[in-house]
Structure 1
Amino acid sequence: MNNYLKGFTHYLVHEKEVSKNTLESYKRDISQFIAFLEGRNIQYMKEVNKTTIITYLLYLQKSGKATSTISRNLASIRSFSQFLLNEQYIDKDPTIHLESPKSEKRLPAILTLKEVELLLGQPDENSEKGIRDKAMLELLYATGMRVSELVALDYFHANLDMAYIKCCNNHSKERIIPIGSMAKKALERYIKTVRKNIIKEETEEALFVNYYGRRLTRQGFWKIIKKYTQKAKIDKKITPHTLRHSFATHLLQNGADLKSVQEMLGHSDISTTQVYTLLTKNKIKEVYNKAHPRA
């Protein structure tokens, strides 16, 4: 059995040229699968059929493995089977027509409007750092941008006269996102009164910079939002992505159409955006249960 694994490893390294992490993941999954087969006295891959693989997946499930882990294992076995088929170690692929287990959609955590106001009200607007932080938090909630997109912004991406931000990075196509009056006011104040004092070089293009005058990092912003969450005493696990989730959900709750929200978020597939409709449905049900006399 180990000869199969050696051949598969060689194929992954020299033909597929997979990354080191991907290689280790495949080797781990297939080694465990082979150990399972040998424990059932299966010595040759030709003896493996669809039932064998389903039994293995059920074994993983009973062992307490997450659905995502089981799906990854099946993907590894599928690649392994294709290799064995191409090398004529087996006559047919036993993974054909086998579907990956469906993961339960986990609803993203969001803030209430009151919690958003509380969080956005934490920066000290009498300090340069507070003015910068206020502008970042307001902009993140106003646009639903990813944090990676926020820190990638250059100063010329902001059009305050027209009240929009041009958002673009290496992972998504360029999009224009409108900003509301509160975000515009906070951003305008930061640009006109703080940014020019923080940057060290006139050639610096980054919109948001740290106190070394260089572009703020995702890790730097993470520390900022963690600090203000603790200061606001909000009893929820808040990540930089929480404001993005809150932005989308609050728009839909207030009547925005799904397609517009998809475009603002930069989702290539509308099904990704549809998860937020589940949150709005939950809200409607909650309101109904509280308000209807016979709920």
Structure 2
Amino acid sequence: MKLTELEFHLEDFLLSCQSKNLSSKTLSSYEQSLKLFLAYLKAEHEVEEVKRVKVGHIRQYVAYVQERGKYTVVNRETSKNINHPQNRRDYKKTVSNVTINNYIRNIKVFFNWLEQEGELHKNPVANIKQIKTERRQKAGISQEEFNALLSQFDYTKFHGYRNKVITMILQDTGMRISECLALEVDFIDFKHRMILVTKTKGRKERYVYFSQVMARELKHYLKFKDRYTDGKN
């Protein structure tokens, strides 16, 4: 099936992103949200060329998603017969402003890239703003609640003790779980009580710091690990 001009540029954009070694999660987000937008342009406005995309199309797309709700906008109508989105409990529920802002951001990235590539002289996203959202403070847990959580792990088994230490270090340092799971022993500096985090979301290394209590727990865990494993867990 022959690609439209917009679809061709989208494929080129994704290849450009791959060459920059962007994460698979970011690439998937770009591909999914932009394919939905291009499908909307084609179905609702018969727009398939880059230069025909206007700022009004983007604003109307945002309103379109807001009005229709979750899982009602699809890349191909035939996918509904496979995925059956109408059976989901949240079908047609309101799409959050955070999600819509992600769509807007991805569309802006795509058209800014097209402008850099010389495919656009007037960028339709130049005056597009994200929706203002209120950041709500997430409720914390008490020390008693955290201790109750730790008590659920079976310390007599290696994986139970390992998971307890992971939970403790996440709470103590604030690092992401993916960052924690990628740590190596050599990254831990007990003298200054800090850890070098290399597998970060923004691909920039940083240090996180841990408490004296965490230091004792980590030292105990490393001795335990070396005794009962091959050193790879």
TM-score (norm 2): 0.61
Do residues 58 (structure 1) and 63 (structure 2) align?
yes
One-letter identity of the residue aligned with 2:149:
L
Partner in structure 2 of residue 185 of structure 1? 216
CA distance in 1, matches of 2:55, 2:194: 52
Partner in structure 2 of residue 110 of structure 1? 140
Largest Rg, 1 or 2: 1
CA distance in 1, matches of 2:9, 2:107: 14
Task: State the Cα deviation string for residues 62-121 of structure 1 (Å, max 9, x = none).
Answer: 223332443344456554598599557xx7444331212234424445322221121123
Higher relative contact order (CA 8 A, sep 6+): 1
Alignment match of 1:151 (pick from 181, 185, 191): 181
Distance 1:168 1:10, change over 3 A: same
Partner in structure 1 of residue 126 of structure 2? 96
One-letter identity of the residue aligned with 1:34:
K
Alignment match of 1:175 (pick from 207, 210, 229): 207
Give the unaligned 5+ runs of structure 1: 205-213, 216-295
Stretch moving more, 144-153 or 123-132? 123-132
Q: Is the 8 A contact 2:13 2:113 kept in 1?
A: no
3-state SS of paired residue (2:125): coil
One-letter identity of the residue aligned with 1:196:
D
TM-score (norm 1): 0.51
Task: State the Cα deviation string for residues 121-164 of structure 1 (Å, max 9, x = none).
Answer: 3334455454444433333322223222322232344444x361
What is the correspondence of 1:1-295 to structure 2 with a 5 Å cutoff?
6-14=4-12, 17-18=15-16, 21=28, 22-38=30-46, 49-51=54-56, 53-64=58-69, 65-75=95-105, 78=108, 79=110, 83=114, 86-87=118-119, 92-160=122-190, 162=191, 164-171=193-200, 172-181=204-213, 183-192=214-223, 194-200=224-230, 204=231, 214-215=232-233
Shift of 1:195: 1.4
Shift of 1:12: 3.0
CA distance in 1, matches of 2:48, 2:159: 66
3-state SS of paired residue (2:4): helix
Partner in structure 2 of residue 257 of structure 1? none
- Alpha-carbon RMSD across the aligned residues, in angstroms, is 3.8
Partner in structure 1 of residue 80 of structure 2? none
